Amino acid sequence: MSQVVNDMLDGFICQTCDSFVDGEAPGYPRDCEDCESDERKSWAQQAKIRANKTANTYNAFILKNSFLWKGNVPIDIAESLEVVH
């Protein structure tokens, strides 16, 4: 293997962008701060999308079927879920 590959596998350089991480080689691949931050932002955005999809599906179900149980819904069941902005 090349030196770059070895440095990446050792965690000396970023596995995503090949930039210098922090001068240490812990022995496992890792990301630099910039790539790690971008990845976390992506995870947060994906979680927000999933939460909003769930909320919209739930709200549509409640709206469509509310006539079936009008006045007969336990108080701990929400009438709608909030959409995250």
Same domain, 52 and 79: yes
At 32-82, the pLDDT tens digits run: 888 888 888 888 889 999 999 999 999 999 888 877 877 777 778 788 888
Same domain, 13 and 52: no
Pick the range with the lowest mean pLDDT from 4-13, 25-34, 67-76. Answer: 67-76
Same domain, 25 and 44: no
Same domain, 40 and 61: yes
More confident residue, 61 or 85: 61
DSSP output for 31-48: --HHHHHHHHHHHHHHHH
Which pLDDT score, from 0 to 100, does residue 41 have?
A: 83
Same domain, 43 and 16: no
pTM of the model: 0.55
CA 30-31-37 angle, 5° bins: 140
**In terms of residue numbers, what domain contains 84?**
33-85
Contact 25, 7 (CB under 8 A): yes
